[in-house]
C-alpha cells in the first residue's frame, strides 16, 4: 500500500525549508527560533546550517 500524503514530506528537512529561517537581506539568514544562529552568509551555508537533525525544525 502506498504512503499517504501527510507521510510524504514535500521538502527536505533543512534550514532552507524551515519556517523559522528569517532572511536579513544581502544573502544572510538567521534562525528565527534562536537569533544568535546565522544559518546562511552571502548565499552560502554557514557553519550553523543544519540539515535533517535540528530539534527546532518546523515545516514551512
pLDDT value at residue 19: 93
Band the pLDDT of 6: cuts 50, 70, 90: low
Question: How much helix, strand and coil, in percent to the nearest 5, is found in the chain?
Answer: 10, 30, 60
Q: What is the pTM of this model?
A: 0.71
Q: What digits encode the pLDDT tens for the residues 14-35? A: 999 999 999 999 999 999 999 9
**pLDDT beyond 80 at 9:** no
Cell numbers given for 56: 527546532
User: Could you give the angle at the alpha carbon of 58 between the alpha carbons of 53 and 60, nearest 5°?
Assistant: 125
Instruction: Name the residue ranges covered by the structural domains of the chain.
Output: 12-45
Amino acid at each position: 500500500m502506498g504512503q499517504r500524503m501527510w507521510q510524504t514530506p514535500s521538502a527536505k528537512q533543512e534550514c532552507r525549508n524551515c519556517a523559522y529561517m528569517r532572511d536579513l537581506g544581502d544573502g544572510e539568514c538567521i534562525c528565527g527560533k534562536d537569533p544568535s544562529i546565522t544559518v546562511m552568509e552571502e548565499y552560502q551555508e554557514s557553519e550553523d546550517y543544519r540539515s535533517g537533525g535540528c530539534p527546532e525544525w518546523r515545516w514551512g
